[in-house]
Amino acid sequence: MAKMPWFRVYSEILDDQKIKRICRVTGESKALIVGVWICLLALANDSGERGRLTISDKIPYSLDDLIDETGLDEDVLKIVIDHFIELDMLTVGNNVALTYEIKNWDGRQFKSDNSSQRVKDWRAKQDETLQKHSSNIIDTESEIESEIDTDKIEIPDARSDSADYQSVWESETGLLISGFTEFKKTCDRFIDVGVTPEIFRTAIKEQKKSEYAVKRPSGVAEWAIRLVKKVNDNDKKGNIEWAHEMESNQ
């Protein structure tokens, strides 16, 4: 499997309490501690099994190797790594030899980042949904008029997970999710009020056309929720008009 040329780094790393504690007890700067951690993440990303610090399948990185990679003195690096282990950021496995492993790698570096099949499955799912609701869902690939025809948008009952919204965000903006906790809260809110991934996509496109910058998913949230409200109001208006028409025909 080809190596991933990139990995995720979240901006919240600067406010991480573990990082702050290591800085405090070692007396080292945040730049040094964060820099060492980023080095370890990069090495783990390039390993045969992402998340483990290995040069090859059977050769793990030794402390001397990490000294070469970071350019730090042995005493300084050993203290920092010991704190990473103590605070459960780094673990030491004992398979063939002692191997450093990044704790919770899969929780922060999504498998979908390195899975072409995951992308194919998602696209197939979107194609199937669009075909099923082709008469009701707006064509998001065509140019959207400034006034959205909400009669063409349907809010399906099916609930989506955050991966669907994430795929829409990254494909439409070219930006990665920086704060996953905040993004998960936004997705939960979307699900509660009925914002589907396709409505989220429409909101992003509409906001791009406005004077507002599209920087964070939470910044598009109110735009998308107003769109859902407009759809619901149109549906309600349509039902009332239908009821009046039935009464007049009796």
Domain ranges for the chain: 11-108, 111-249
Q: What is the pTM of this model?
A: 0.48
Distance of CA 229 to the CA centre of its chain: 26
CA–CA separation, 92 and 53 (whole Å): 10
Cα angle 5-114-218, degrees, rounded to a multiple of 5: 95
CA–CA separation, 106 and 182 (whole Å): 19
H or E element, residue 101:
strand 98-102
pLDDT for res 135: 47
pLDDT for res 79: 97
Residue 60 phi, psi dihedral angles, 5° rounding: -80, 160
pLDDT for res 72: 96
In the predicted model, residues of the chain with pLDDT beneath 50 are: 1, 134-135, 137-159, 239-240, 242-244, 246-247, 250
Q: Output b/e per residue, 231-246; b: 16+ Cβ within 10 A.
A: beeeeeeeeeeeeeee
Instruction: Give 13-56 pLDDT, tens digit per residue.
Output: 999 999 999 999 999 999 999 999 999 999 999 998 899 999 98
Q: In terms of Cα–Cα distance, which of 174, 175, 189, 194 is closest to 221?
A: 189
* CATH code, 11-108: 1.10.10
